[in-house]
Amino acid sequence: MKIVEEKMISIVILNWNSKEKLIDCLASIKKHTKQKHEIIIVDNGSTDGSIEFLKDEYPEAKLICNSVNMGVGPARNQGMKIATGEYVLILDVDTILKNSAIDILKKYMDENRKVGIVGAKLLNPDLSIQMSCRNFPTLYTKLSSRITKLSQKRLNQEQLKHWAHDSVESVGYLLGACQLIRREVICEIGVYDDKIFYGPEDIDYCLRAWLAGFEVKYNPNAIIIHDHQRITKNTLNKMTLIHLQALLYYFKKYHSYFTNNYIYKKIGLNREWYKFL
């Protein structure tokens, strides 16, 4: 039986040939985090010296080395399964803490026991707001975002662009770049869906948390820079096809091809957040 250490955060970071970003990410954690924590790095077959760097500079970190790219969800699951913290933070390698974001999120979770997952305000490198928390998508909104701009109103509603992102709010889901997850959530719903190699694993996980009775919150007091480089821009890209396959799997799983009304009614999220979907 795994021993869970109270008051500790397990920080799970997935890496794939991102040594320079990993250096900056870990340095920012060290600089801004007072809360007791452990670092878990899941490496998906890097060949850029990442492993050597970690062994030399962060020998205390738990390191999982995969010989091949396991995908996002499955690799994160590897880290989550060996985490011993009261909370598990899923953090992208291309993030840099702007303030004591991890400590702020941990304090918020300690004070709000109904919250199962909380995320930080994410900023682009130019410090503009990144749309890091959203309404649950439909197949219609996802496809239209790639094919046409005719449905911009719906897309804006899905990405919550009508809101200044300056207050703590309940949201449909948080991007997997930063998700602080309560241990009870993992015990209740498990880890990410292993069938999702890359794509909506973050959407699926937040929805499962909501359906299990946990709240998902966005907290703008915690600030993180996220140098997000989308790898599915090219519609002919192999990863785009993998992403679309994962989306179809998600929509089939929740029967949300064209509407999400039944989902929001079931989880009781404020209708103001989804009235246009």
Residues 177/95, Cβ–Cβ less than 8 Å: yes
Per-residue confidence band for 18, with pLDDT thresholds at 50, 70 and 90 = very high
Q: Which residue has the higher pLDDT, 101 or 163?
A: 101
- pLDDT of 19 over the 80 cut: yes
pLDDT value of position 138 = 77
Task: Please state the rounded mean pLDDT for residues 136-152.
Answer: 65
Per-residue confidence band for 216, with pLDDT thresholds at 50, 70 and 90 = very high
Superfamily of domain 5-272 in CATH is: Spore Coat Polysaccharide Biosynthesis Protein SpsA; Chain A (3.90.550.10)
Residues 46/19, Cβ–Cβ less than 8 Å: yes
pLDDT value of position 260 = 65
Per-residue confidence band for 276, with pLDDT thresholds at 50, 70 and 90 = very low
pLDDT value of position 21 = 98
pLDDT value of position 277 = 38
pLDDT value of position 121 = 98
Out of 69-78, 91-100, 220-229, give the one with best mean pLDDT.
91-100
